[in-house]
Amino acid sequence: MIRKLAIILGDQLNEDASIWQGLDPAQDVIWMAELIEESTHVPSHKQRIVLFLSAMRHFAQAKRDQAWSVDYQTLGEHPFSHFEQALSAFLAAHPVQTVELVVPGDFRVLQQIKTACRAANVPLNLLPDTHFIAEPGEFKAWLAERKKPTMEYWYRALRQRTGILMDGKKPLGGKWNYDADNRQAFGKDGPQSVPVPVRFEPDEITQTVIKQVAETFAKHPGELENFDWPVTRQQALQALDDFIAHRLEKFGDYQDAMWPNQAWLYHSLVSAAMNLKLLNPREVIAAAEQAYHQGRAPLNAVEGFIRQILGWREYVRGLYWSYMPDWLDWNALDAQQNLPAFYWTGDTDMACLKDAIGQVIQHGYGHHIQRLMVTGLFALLWQAKPEQVHQWYLAMYVDAVEWVELPNVLGMSQFADGGLMASKPYIASGQYINKMSGYCQNCRYKPKEATGHQACPFTTLYWGFIERHQDVFRGHPRLGMQVKHLERMPDEKRNQIQKQMAHLRQKLG
Ligand SMILES: Cc1cc2nc3c(=O)[nH]c(=O)nc-3n(C[C@H](O)[C@H](O)[C@H](O)COP(=O)(O)OP(=O)(O)OC[C@H]3O[C@@H](n4cnc5c(N)ncnc54)[C@H](O)[C@@H]3O)c2cc1C
Ligand code: SF4
User: Model confidence over 357-367: pLDDT tens digits?
Assistant: 999 999 999 99
pLDDT over threshold 90, residue 182? no
Pocket test for ligand 1, best of 152, 302, 404, 426 (most atoms within 8 A of CB): 404
> Cβ-count burial of 198 within 10 angstroms (0-12 exposed, 13-18 middle, 19+ buried)?
middle
Domains and CATH numbers, the chain: 2-127 (3.40.50.620), 138-329 (1.25.40.80), 342-508 (1.10.579.10)
Pocket test for ligand 1, best of 271, 357, 393 (most atoms within 8 A of CB): 271
pLDDT at 125: 97
pLDDT at 188: 87
Q: Point out the ligand nearest to the CA of residue 410.
A: 1
Distances (CA, A) of 255 to 246, 247, 377, 504: 15, 11, 17, 31
| pLDDT (average), residues 31-37 | 97
What are the backbone angles phi and psi of residue 403, rounded to the nearest 5°? -60, -30
H or E element: which one contains 167?
A: strand 166-167
Pocket test for ligand 2, best of 434, 448, 461 (most atoms within 8 A of CB): 434
Would the CB of 393 count as within 6 Å of ligand 1?
A: yes
pLDDT (tens digit per residue) in 42-82: 999 999 999 999 999 999 999 999 999 999 999 999 999 99
Say how far apart CA 174 and CA 455 lie, in whole Å.
45
Distances (CA, A) of 415 to 33, 326, 332, 385: 35, 14, 7, 11
pLDDT over threshold 90, residue 423? no
Pocket test for ligand 2, best of 429, 443, 507 (most atoms within 8 A of CB): 443
Q: Point out the ligand nearest to the CA of residue 430.
A: 2
Residues within a 6 A CB radius of ligand 2: 350-352, 430, 433-434, 439-440, 443, 445, 447, 456-458
Say how far apart CA 72 and CA 61 lie, in whole Å.
10
pLDDT band at 7 (very low <50, low <70, confident <90, very high): very high
H or E element: which one contains 320?
A: helix 314-323
| Atom in ligand 1 nearest the alpha carbon of residue 413 | 1
Q: What pTM value is reported for the model?
A: 0.97
Distances (CA, A) of 246 to 46, 198, 258: 29, 10, 18
Which distant-in-sequence residues (6+ apart) come within 8 Å of 431 by Cβ? Answer: 447, 448, 459
pLDDT at 118: 98
pLDDT at 284: 98
Residue nearest to atom 19 of ligand 1 (CA): 271
What totals of helices (H) and strands (E) does the chain contain, helices first? 25, 7
Tell me the CA–centroid distance for residue 459 and ligand 2, in Å.
9
pLDDT over threshold 90, residue 183? no
pLDDT at 20: 96
Average confidence score pLDDT of the chain: 96
Strand 96-102 versus strand 170-171 pairing type: unpaired
pLDDT (tens digit per residue) in 277-289: 999 999 999 999 9
Going by the DSSP 8-state scheme, the letter that residue 72 receives in this structure is: E
pLDDT at 374: 98
pLDDT at 477: 85
| pLDDT (average), residues 468-493 | 93
Residue nearest to atom 6 of ligand 2 (CA): 440
| pLDDT (average), residues 9-34 | 96
pLDDT (tens digit per residue) in 298-336: 999 999 999 999 999 999 999 999 999 999 999 999 999
Tell me the CA–centroid distance for residue 362 and ligand 2, in Å.
21
Tell me the CA–centroid distance for residue 445 and ligand 2, in Å.
6
102 forms beta bridges with 127
Would the CB of 409 count as within 6 Å of ligand 1?
A: yes
pLDDT band at 26 (very low <50, low <70, confident <90, very high): very high
pLDDT over threshold 90, residue 478? no
| pLDDT (average), residues 126-143 | 95
| Longest CA span, the chain | 79
Residue nearest to atom 3 of ligand 2 (CA): 350
Tell me the CA–centroid distance for residue 216 and ligand 2, in Å.
37
pLDDT over threshold 90, residue 509? no
